[in-house]
């Protein structure tokens, strides 16, 4: 039997209330995935379920399904808790709007890992009142019945049946005779199902049929699935009652959750200053890259799927808080330290905060700007995948700079946008010796869809290029895919810079061609000529391939490009490597393409462009 833990939910009530709580008592839980919140006995909720199912005699494998937004949290949890990291599945979603749905998440694991065994499914973010129930007993009961198994319990008086999946059970056979998802009336049953099921291998194929009938993620819940399977398909499904209470964390508020936090400190923070929080977004290069570092032209777009967020709060001393994932100071074991260091190296985001602060002070001193004597605490969070060329480092620097400017009342006239992009680049190149170009920093400062001209004449005369925000209305549907285990994206630059500086004709002409493609793409965007834009994207990739060579681009990038083209999609690299961005004009093939990329071990998502004109405060929250 195989166990699958589901933790791919987005935007729960509890998470929102913790984030908006102004008492400061729960600030240490902000951004923590709900399954990793404290449960009973000093354990994280997911720790309890992992301990419960981590029994080799019962399960041959255990998988965990999460979303792209929280993937790194669970990956780190896995390495610290002896959970196989390769069994943590990323469904590619980053928001509630682009979620797959619970049944689709389960089907993703079954399909991508080619599972052909009985399955136990558990919501890994579910609180269980009784920590001592015997899961082997559940499996024995399941084995004794000729069908599926649903765990249920009897609602407390204060709980409403309209908020749960309600079952009617035959007392003689334990067969569920009817399933009702959040009924308003029509039943007197107080028996509520929870996301705790056992499903026979022969029934797994029904999931694909169900998903084909339910294109909307909101309808892909287990409640709707069981309604269909039991009420319409008349399959034999049995119920098992556990004499304990269950709570999905997404369905409770902060006041209901506080009883689980008694082991946490409730020390009241007296700092009355309102923290400043700013975001900067990942970007995709749509045209012209990588010519931004070679006096070329590019068009890039910021995307709201992935972001870096920095929070600044006034404090007695200046404190830079390490990120628990990206700047680890505690490890589950020496093996944990070894695995993390081998995969992610030693360079987290803390150095980016420090370098930005240093450069900011240096800039203000040089510009004659007197800073007030105020200290602060900086912390950051990010869901931008590492080493796939989506501008994760510069996003942290950009968001930090926004916070510092707001805290010290530095205006746009003090630090104009074109100069601000140079500032961010200099933090990375001068302070941290990161190889980079201006494109990412420009689009993260201006935000949206931006045309950029980095011609030598402009750069020499004014110190920056010509940057023009473009109309973002009625853009076509772009998609993004990236490698789950990328190599160092910085290596893709190879020896091109040396060849360009030495005046090698092939490289110089290529950079000029990139600029020409960008100008043509600007016209195509203006004219809404998406077929032309798609052709230009393909030409951009082939031009890059001709000068960088396949060996430099790497087999992973080439496989993604080849896969996209099998579905007739335009495709190119959005950055330095490890990801591809595409434009599929035949949207009917988008679902097939998503599945193909997922089966190939890649993370796939539809791009949500970030439009600053539609945002309230341009990246500040």
Same domain, 89 and 178: yes
- In a shared domain, residues 470 and 578: yes
Task: Please check whether residues 247 and 266 belong to one and the same domain.
Answer: yes
Q: What is the CATH number of the domain that holds 218?
A: 3.90.550.10
Domain assignment of residue 609, yes or no: yes
Does residue 621 sit within a domain?
no
Is there a domain that residue 591 lies in?
yes
* Confidence (pTM): 0.72
**DSSP H helices in 567-617:** 590-599
Lowest mean pLDDT among 156-160, 172-176, 518-522: 156-160
Q: Which pLDDT score is estimated for 273?
A: 63
Tell me which residues are annotated as active site.
440
Asked if residue 619 belongs to a domain, the reply is no
Picking from 539, 531, 575, the residue whose alpha carbon sits closest to that of residue 557 is 575
pLDDT at residue 268 is higher than 80: no
In a domain, 620, yes or no: no
Helices 392-407 and 439-446 pack at an angle, to 10 degrees, of 40
- Quote the CA–CA distance of 7 and 453 in Å, as a whole number: 44
Q: What is the pLDDT of residue 91?
A: 95
DSSP-derived letter for residue 268 is: P
Within 208-267, strands assigned E span 237-241, 246-248
Check whether residue 228 and residue 108 sit in a common domain. Answer: yes
Question: At residue 597, does pLDDT exceed 70?
Answer: yes
Q: 148-154 and 191-199 as β-strands: parallel, antiparallel, unpaired?
A: antiparallel
Query: Does residue 397 belong to any structural domain of this protein?
Result: yes
Asked if residue 318 and residue 178 are part of one domain, the reply reads no
**For 296-318, what is each residue's pLDDT tens digit?**
999 999 999 999 999 999 998 99
Q: Is the dihedral of CA 436, 441, 447, 451 positive or negative?
A: negative
Domain holding 500, by residue range, is 277-614
- Which residue, 270, 289, 309, sits at the end of a domain? 270
Asked whether residue 524 is domain-assigned, the answer is yes
The answer on 194 and 313 residing in a single domain is no
> What is the Rg, in whole angstroms, of the alpha carbon atoms belonging to the chain?
26
Mean of per-residue pLDDT scores for the chain: 88
E-strand stretches of 155-205: 165-169, 176-181, 191-199
SS3 122: strand
Higher local confidence (pLDDT), 487 or 107: 107
User: Across residues 325-337, what is the average pLDDT?
Assistant: 89
Q: Is pLDDT above 90 for 26?
A: no
pLDDT higher than threshold 50 for residue 264: no
Domain assignment of residue 81, yes or no: yes
Same domain, 244 and 292: no
Residue 414 has pLDDT above 90, yes or no: no
The pLDDT confidence band at residue 504, using thresholds 50, 70 and 90, is: very high
Q: Which domain-ending residue is among 255, 270, 285?
A: 270
Residues 316 and 424 in one domain: yes
Whether residues 152 and 281 share a domain: the answer is no
Domain endpoint, select from 239, 270, 301: 270
Say yes or no: 558 and 460 in one domain: yes
Residue 334: which CATH number?
Answer: 3.30.230.120
Of the ranges 42-46, 204-208, 446-450, which one carries the lowest mean pLDDT score?
42-46
Total domains present in the chain: 2
Identify whether residues 27 and 93 lie together within a single domain.
Answer: yes
What distance lies between CA 257 and its chain's CA centroid?
25
Work out the pLDDT band at 495, boundaries 50, 70, 90: confident
Q: Which of 181-185, 449-453, 512-516 has the lowest mean pLDDT?
A: 181-185
213 & 329 share domain: no
User: How many whole angstroms separate alpha carbon 373 and alpha carbon 484?
Assistant: 45
Instruction: State the Cα–Cα distance between residues 415 and 364, nearest whole angstrom.
Output: 9
Phi, psi of 535, rounded to the nearest 5 degrees: -60, -40
pLDDT of residue 48: 87
């Amino acid at each position: 039997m195989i166990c699958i833990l589901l933790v791919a939910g987005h935007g729960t009530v509890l998470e929102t209330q913790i984030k908006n709580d102004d008492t400061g008592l729960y600030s240490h839980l902000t951004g923590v995935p709900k399954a990793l919140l404290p449960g009973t006995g000093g354990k994280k909720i997911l720790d309890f379920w992992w301990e419960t199912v981590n029994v080799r005699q019962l399960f041959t494998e255990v998988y965990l399904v999460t979303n792209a937004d929280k993937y790194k949290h669970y990956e780190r949890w896995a390495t610290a808790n002896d959970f196989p990291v390769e069994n943590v599945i990323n469904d590619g979603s980053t928001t509630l709007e682009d979620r797959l749905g619970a049944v689709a998440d389960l089907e993703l694991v079954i399909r991508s890992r080619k599972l052909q065994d009985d399955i136990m499914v558990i919501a890994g973010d579910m609180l269980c009142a009784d920590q001592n129930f015997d899961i082997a007993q559940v499996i024995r009961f399941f084995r004794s019945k000729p069908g599926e198994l649903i765990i249920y319990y009897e609602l407390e008086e204060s709980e409403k049946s309209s908020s749960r999946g309600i079952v009617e059970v035959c007392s003689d056979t334990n067969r569920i005779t009817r399933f009702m998802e959040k009924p308003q009336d029509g039943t007197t049953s107080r028996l509520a199902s929870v996301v705790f099921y056992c499903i026979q291998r022969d029934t797994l194929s029904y999931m694909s049929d169900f998903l084909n009938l339910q294109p909307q993620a909101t309808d892909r819940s287990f409640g709707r699935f069981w309604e269909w399977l039991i009420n319409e398909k008349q399959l034999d499904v049995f119920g098992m009652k556990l004499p304990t209470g269950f709570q999905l964390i997404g369905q409770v508020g902060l006041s209901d959750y506080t009883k689980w936090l008694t082991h946490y400190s409730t020390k009241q923070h007296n700092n009355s200053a309102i923290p400043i929080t700013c975001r900067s977004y990942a970007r995709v290069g749509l045209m012209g890259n990588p010519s931004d570092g070679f006096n070329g032209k590019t068009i890039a777009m910021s995307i709201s799927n992935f972001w870096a967020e920095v929070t600044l709060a006034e404090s007695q001393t200046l404190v830079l808080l390490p990120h628990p994932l990206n700047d680890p100071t505690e490890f589950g074991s020496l093996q944990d330290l070894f695995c993390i260091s081998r995969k992610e190296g030693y360079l987290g985001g803390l150095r980016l905060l420090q370098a930005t602060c240093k450069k900011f002070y240096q800039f203000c001193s040089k510009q004659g700007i007197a800073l007030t004597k105020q200290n602060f605490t900086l912390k950051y969070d990010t869901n931008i995948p590492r080493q796939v060329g989506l501008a994760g480092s510069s996003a942290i620097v950009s968001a930090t700079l926004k916070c510092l400017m707001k805290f010290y009342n530095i205006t746009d006239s003090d630090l104009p946008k074109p100069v601000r992009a140079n500032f961010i680049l200099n933090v990375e190149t001068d302070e941290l010796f990161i190889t980079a170009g201006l494109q990412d920093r420009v689009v993260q400062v201006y935000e949206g869809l931006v045309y950029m001209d980095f011609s030598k004449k402009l750069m020499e005369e004014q110190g920056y290029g010509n940057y023009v925000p473009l109309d973002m209305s009625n853009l076509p549907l772009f998609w993004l895919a990236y490698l789950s285990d990328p190599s160092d994206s910085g290596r893709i630059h190879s020896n091109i810079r040396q060849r360009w500086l030495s005046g090698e004709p092939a490289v110089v002409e290529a950079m000029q061609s990139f600029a020409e493609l960008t100008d043509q793409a600007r016209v195509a965007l203006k004219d809404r000529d998406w077929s032309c834009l798609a052709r230009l994207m393909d030409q951009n990739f082939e031009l890059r391939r001709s000068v960088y060579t396949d060996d430099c681009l790497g087999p992973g990038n080439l496989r993604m490009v080849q896969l996209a083209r099998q579905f007739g999609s335009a495709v190119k690299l959005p950055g330095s490597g490890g990801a591809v961005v595409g434009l599929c004009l035949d949207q009917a093939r988008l679902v097939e393409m998503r599945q193909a990329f997922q089966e190939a071990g890649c993370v796939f998502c539809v791009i949500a462009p970030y439009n600053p004109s539609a945002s309230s405060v341009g990246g500040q929250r």
